Amino acid sequence: MSTTPAPLLTVRDLKVVIGGRHILHGVDLEVAASGTTALLGRNGAGKTTTVRGILGLIPRTGSVLLGGEETVRLATHALVRRGIGYAPEDRGVFAALTVAENLRLAERPGAGEPAYDLVHELFPELRQRARQAAGTLSGGQQQMVAIARTLLNGNRLIIADEPTKGLAPKVVSEVAQVLERAAQAVPILLVEQNLAVVRRLARHCAVLADGRTAHRGPAAELLADADAARRLLGVGRARHGDTGTPSAGTPAGTSPGTPARTAAHPAAPTAEADA
């Protein structure tokens, strides 16, 4: 008899209020114990707020179980010590420091020997570029540094917030490869708008809408269901080989008051073209 492994992270009824405004109304999601789980949704759906809530960066209520332990009342530093690594949307790379210095900054005293072997095995390029200033790296290489930092400390979970945002299609593909390699070592919760990347990497997904969980299930199933993808994500089509076309009506990925984005910062999940 086969049994499904318990999720690594289980979020229940996560609520966030900022400045008196209810941003999350009760988010439920699970992060699988291996591979990549995608957190999806249109702009303003609450993805980054969910990540910030999980990480304790903002006040929140509900339940966040990490490996069965309740963490919702823990401070961020305590969560980091329990093994959650975070690759923020802006990558947080120090441009004036070298690659090696950026990695060294992520070493955590008391977390055991930093896993340089793993990092260099997954990303040999970082060893070759150890003395290069991080500011001179490409966007994809900087993302590699950001992910590598989360792998150094024996983390149990990596949360990556929109790692492909604003990157050229070729670089998107490189970053997808970086994440693919990292997920072999550590489970990833991936906030992502590029559906080609989601298709390539994610086994499971949760979709947020208006601060609530609107859908949970296998990522491939959602992407194969054009109606569901249109309804939940705002893309016209989501089959393999399609290019993304926003559905009619409200521009995909926008909500009232959401500014339109440039091509480099798509307003909506983008389908299939570039990973």
Ligand X SMILES: Nc1ncnc2c1ncn2[C@@H]1O[C@H](COP(=O)(O)OP(=O)(O)OP(=O)(O)O)[C@@H](O)[C@H]1O
Contact stretch for ligand X (CB under 6 A) within 19-27, 127-135, 145-153, 219-227: 19-27
How far apart CA 213 and CA 9 sit, in angstroms, is: 15
Would you tell me how many other CB atoms lie within 10 Å of the CB of residue 67?
Answer: 15
Nearest distance, CB of residue 23 and ligand X, angstroms: 4
Q: Please pick, from the candidates 2, 4, 19, 263, the single residue that binds ligand X as defined by CB under 6 A.
A: 19
Only one residue has tokens 């980091």, namely: 80
Nearest distance, CB of residue 233 and ligand X, angstroms: 11
How far apart CA 136 and CA 113 sit, in angstroms, is: 28
Would you tell me how many other CB atoms lie within 10 Å of the CB of residue 74?
Answer: 17
Nearest distance, CB of residue 246 and ligand X, angstroms: 15
Nearer to ligand X, 48 or 132 (CB): 48
Nearer to ligand X, 119 or 206 (CB): 206
Nearer to ligand X, 153 or 164 (CB): 164
Nearer to ligand X, 21 or 131 (CB): 21
How far apart CA 37 and CA 33 sit, in angstroms, is: 9
Nearer to ligand X, 132 or 258 (CB): 258
How far apart CA 210 and CA 232 sit, in angstroms, is: 11
Q: Residues 22-61: x/- map of binding to ligand X (CB under 6 A)?
A: -x-----------------x-xxxxxxx------------
Footprint on residues 74-103 left by ligand X (CB under 6 A): none
Question: Which residues, including other chains, have CB under 8 Å from residue 74's CB and lie 6 or more apart?
Answer: 56, 82
By the rule CB under 6 A, 275 interacts with ligand X: no
By the rule CB under 6 A, 18 interacts with ligand X: yes
Nearest distance, CB of residue 19 and ligand X, angstroms: 6
Nearer to ligand X, 46 or 246 (CB): 46
Contact stretch for ligand X (CB under 6 A) within 16-24, 98-106, 141-149, 168-176: 16-24
Nearest distance, CB of residue 121 and ligand X, angstroms: 32
Footprint on residues 236-255 left by ligand X (CB under 6 A): none
Nearest distance, CB of residue 45 and ligand X, angstroms: 4
Q: Would strands 21-31 and 9-18 be described as parallel, antiparallel, or unpaired?
A: antiparallel
How many positions of this chain bind ligand X (CB under 6 A)? 12
Binding site for ligand X (CB under 6 A): 18-19, 21, 23, 41, 43-49
